[in-house]
Each structure stands twice: as C-alpha cells, then as structure tokens.
Amino acid sequence: MAEYMALIMFGFVCLVLLAGYPVAFSLGGTALIFALLGNLTGTFDSVLLSALPNRIYGIMTNATLIAVPLFVFMGVMLEKSKVADKLLDTMAILFGPVRGGLGISVILVGMLLAASTGIVGATVVTMGLLSLPTMLKRGYSPALAGGAICASGTLGQIIPPSIILILLGDVLSSAYQQSQLNQGIYAPETVSVGDLFIGALLPGLLLVALYLLYLIVIAFLKPAIAPAIPPEDRAMGRGELLQQIGQALLPPILLIVAVLGSIIGGVATPTEASSVGAVGSILLAMYQRQFSIAILQEVMLSTMRITSMVFLIFIGASIFSLVFRGFGGDEMVTALLNDLPGGVVGAMFIVMLLMFLLGFILDFIEITFVVVPIVAPILLSMGLDPVWLGIMIAINLQTSFLTPPFGFALFYLRGVAPPELTTTQLYKGVIPFIMIQLLTLGLLAMWPEIVTWLPNMMKATG
C-alpha cells in the first residue's frame, strides 16, 4: 500500500505542476498532504519529518551551493554589459564571407555565452533578440535560423560553468556516497562539481563541433537557405577589424580562462572560481562602459530572485524526497530497475527515457532535485561512473529542452521571435539539432572515455 502511495504522490505532483502552480510549493505542499494522509492510513511514520530541519540546515550551509548565486550574478551582469552584441557583430564580420557564416557565428557566440553565463533562458532570449532578425534579413531559412539559435542557447546546460552541473554535482555527490555505503564501503570516494566541469569540456566541444559541421554541410548543399553576407556589407580595414576582435573577444575569453582555468588547474574550487567570475563580470561591464549603480541594483535583484527560486525548490524537493522514501518509494524503484531486462544497460535506458519525457513538463531544477536523488544511488550501485552519469543526464535534459512541442528553449525563442518565424518552422528547424544531441548521447554511451578521460588524467597528475 505504501509503495502505491509513493507512485500516486509522484503522479499527483506532476499534475499540480502542469496546472501551473509554483514548483517549490507544489513539491513541498504535495509531500506534506500525502504525509498527513499516510499518517492517517498508517502507511507513513510522521517521526520521519523530524529530520526535515537538519536537511534544510544542510542546504543552507552547503559551501558548494554558494557558487549558484555567484555564477548567476556573473551571467546576469554579462547579459547587461552588452557582451553578446559585440560578440555577434565581430563573429558576423569574421565568418560573413562563408556560406552559413551567420549560423556559425551564432553557435560560437552561444558557446562563449554558455561558458560565461550558464543560464539557458537568458542566452536563448538574448540570441533571439539580437541575431534572429539579422539572419532573416540576410535571407536565412527561418527554420534553420530558429533551430541554430535554440541549439546554441541550450549549450549553457552542458558547457561549464553550467548551473545544472553545479546542482547535479551536489546531488550526485550525496548519491555516490549513499550508493557506496549501501555496498558496505565505509570510506567512500567523492565526486565534486569540479569533476563534472572537467568531464563536460570534451562532450561540450564535441557537441559544438557537430553543430558547426551540420551548418557547414547544409550551407554547402543548400546555399540559398544560408547565404554569405555581401562584401559591401562587411567592408572593414584590417586594423579596424583587429581592434574590434580584441575589444569584443579578448575580455570574455580572459574571464572564461580565469574561471575555468582556475578550476581545471586545481588553483580554486568551483565556489572560489565563481567569486572570480562575479568580480570579473563587474570589471568587464566597466570596460564595456555598461556599469552603473542602477545596473548593479538590477543585477543584484535579479540574482536574488533566481537564487531564491532555486533554493526554495531545493527545500521543497527535500521534503518531497523525504516523504517519498518514507513511503518506501526508493525501495520500489530499486526493485523495478534491478528487475529490468538488460541489467545496467536496460536500467540506464529507462531512466534516461523517463528524464527525457519529464523534461517536457518539469524544469531541470525539479528533475535534478526530485528524480536524480531517487535513481542515481541505484545506478551508481550498478557500477556506473558518477561523472559519466552526470554528463549523460545533463545532455539528455538539454535534448528535452529542444524537443517539440514542450521544449523550454522553444518557448523562450517563440516569445521574442518575429512573425516570419512560425511555430511549425521552429519545430522543423530544431529536429536536426535534436538528432545531433541524440548522436552525441550515443557516442558517449559507446565511448564513456570521452567524459572520463580528462577527469581521470587530472586526478592522476594532481
């Protein structure tokens, strides 16, 4: 009976979220309602709720999670400092002579913004406002333009310093320790956010390379849908071009190197590096002459709103997972995954499929805090590498962000797109990029070393 209550509770919270209620209150409220019902029916021991204060205190004192507001601050400040505008202008001049050059520029700028901000929604909206009108004006196919912008915007899911990797790192660290304790290992190894950042570098670059390859091939085969910019529209002297490249590209690249380089080089933890990024974003805004007290106040308010939302969801999810375990839901999921045909491969496939489908109705934060703590200890107990598992989950959620009809990136772009881009064209445009992401997932499944090689090498040399 208790296991069925866990399933009903999970289904009920999905319905409440679909109805549009706030996520944090939906998770926490549903859990408390079912805890009361369980107590009345004798299927839930309310004493378990006494562990809740300690859980909340653990969230509030978690040093790893300090990186969240700092990286959010960095991303919002860079958004306000007009970095994307200058990057797009410069890239368009550099790649303008090439067929598909604007599309290539969009992907590369999306990659740089992902490595600077880590916020998917902001990147998609910014790129949509800046580049979509230009691409349509230059004769690009609306479908190709919309697909490239959505795909480039979701790179913030996988390219460090991704907010999802920070949250996943914290959740997977607890899950990894739990799985080892369940196996009788009382001196458990750990997995850190830094490990996920390092593990995400090669898969992220592979994804960018495949995007670029697709754009180059499609522009070669169908030049009419991705034309080059006419020479008269990109005339600029060599000296002026070099100066613009230096002003637009050098500062954000230096900031990215400072943040990611300090983590990869072992000089700083992700939390410490996030403070470097926050201060660096202020200096970059000053350099771009886009800094003022009014902008700082706006950035701080936006950072506070986003961070409060994340932590409130974290608390709601903590209540949900506690009640779910109280009903024996984790034991039911363990038995289900262990009984699947195909062993660890079958279990991994079902979990990835479930997360992909849930990505249509839940944000990555809810999936990270609700689903991952339930399934990750079981999968890790089967011998999967925690870094590889984390990157597979991140790319999987990135794919669901793109997939019609519910992909969040599609909603973000649809909200700022001109009438020339119809919903049907947008759906058509993202399909090739979805296939590329599924191909990347397949490559990582066949060759996990693409993820694990760099973290293992860093540990061996460190």
pLDDT per residue as tens digits for the range 155-170: 888 888 777 888 888 8
pLDDT of the residue at 439? 94
Q: Provide the Cα torsion 317, 320, 325, 330; round to 10°.
A: -60
Lowest-pLDDT choice from 33-42, 242-251, 323-332:
242-251
Which residues, in sequence order, are CB contacts of 1 under 8 Å at separation 6+? 41, 43
pLDDT of the residue at 187? 66
What is the pLDDT of the chain when averaged over all its residues?
81
Judge contact between 366 and 342, C-beta under 8 A.
no
Q: Is the pLDDT of residue 82 over 60?
A: yes
| Residue reference for tokens 């339930």 | 374
Secondary structure element (H or E) that encloses residue 445, with its range:
helix 423-446
pLDDT of the residue at 380? 86
- The domain locations on the chain are 2-461
Give the residue with greater pLDDT, 230 vs 13.
13
pLDDT of the residue at 446? 93
Which residues, in sequence order, are CB contacts of 358 under 8 Å at separation 6+? 14, 367, 371, 400
Q: Is the pLDDT of residue 316 over 80?
A: yes
Give the residue with greater pLDDT, 291 vs 14.
291
Q: Find which of 183-187, 300-304, 327-331, 457-461 is predicted with most confidence, using mean pLDDT.
A: 300-304
Q: Is the pLDDT of residue 78 over 80?
A: no
| Residue reference for tokens 């990555």 | 364
Helix (H, G, I), strand (E, B) or coil at 382: coil
Q: Provide the Cα torsion 425, 118, 443, 189; round to 10°.
A: -150
Distance of CA 263 to the CA centre of its chain: 18
Lowest-pLDDT choice from 240-254, 276-290, 392-406:
240-254
pLDDT of the residue at 211? 94
Cα 12 from Cα 307, distance rounded (Å): 26
How far, CA to CA in Å, does 9 sit from each of 37, 80, 336, 441?
Answer: 11, 41, 17, 31
Cα 227 from Cα 76, distance rounded (Å): 33
Identity of the residue numbered 71: F
Q: Find which of 63-77, 247-261, 446-460 is predicted with most confidence, using mean pLDDT.
A: 446-460
Tens digits of residue pLDDT in 202-252: 999 999 999 999 999 998 888 888 887 766 655 555 666 677 667 777 888
pLDDT of the residue at 232? 62
CA nearest to 371, candidates 404, 338, 393: 393
Local confidence band at 433 (pLDDT 50, 70, 90 cut-offs): very high
DSSP state string for 14-48: HHHHHTT--HHHHHHHHHHHHHHHHHHHTSS-GGG
Q: Is the pLDDT of residue 392 over 80?
A: yes
pLDDT of the residue at 462? 59
Judge contact between 210 and 440, C-beta under 8 A.
yes
Local confidence band at 179 (pLDDT 50, 70, 90 cut-offs): confident
| Residue reference for tokens 């409220």 | 29
DSSP state string for 169-213: HHHHHHHHHHHHHHTT-SS-----HHHHHHHHHHHHHHHHHHHHH
Q: Is the pLDDT of residue 176 over 60?
A: yes
What mean pLDDT do residues 261-284 have? 83
pLDDT of the residue at 135? 80
Name the DSSP class of 81. T
CA nearest to 27, candidates 454, 373, 417: 373
Tens digits of residue pLDDT in 97-144: 778 888 888 888 888 877 766 566 667 777 777 778 878 887 888 888
How far, CA to CA in Å, does 171 sit from each of 62, 376, 416?
Answer: 11, 9, 34
| Residue reference for tokens 């209550």 | 5
Local confidence band at 46 (pLDDT 50, 70, 90 cut-offs): confident
Cα 131 from Cα 144, distance rounded (Å): 12
pLDDT of the residue at 1? 60
pLDDT of the residue at 119? 60
Cα 276 from Cα 258, distance rounded (Å): 7
CA nearest to 386, candidates 189, 241, 226, 221: 189
Local confidence band at 189 (pLDDT 50, 70, 90 cut-offs): confident
> 174: buried, middle or exposed (CB in 10 Å: 19+, 13-18, 0-12)?
middle
For 98-141, where are the alpha helices, taking DSSP H only?
A: 101-116, 120-137
pLDDT of the residue at 267? 81
What mean pLDDT do residues 330-359 have? 80
pLDDT of the residue at 434? 92
Q: How many CA atoms lie within 13 Å of 392's alpha carbon, on the beta-carbon side?
A: 27
CB atoms within 10 A of CB 372: 24
What mean pLDDT do residues 53-77 have? 80
Q: Provide the Cα torsion 102, 103, 107, 112; round to 10°.
A: 10
> 404: buried, middle or exposed (CB in 10 Å: 19+, 13-18, 0-12)?
middle
Give the residue with greater pLDDT, 338 vs 8.
8
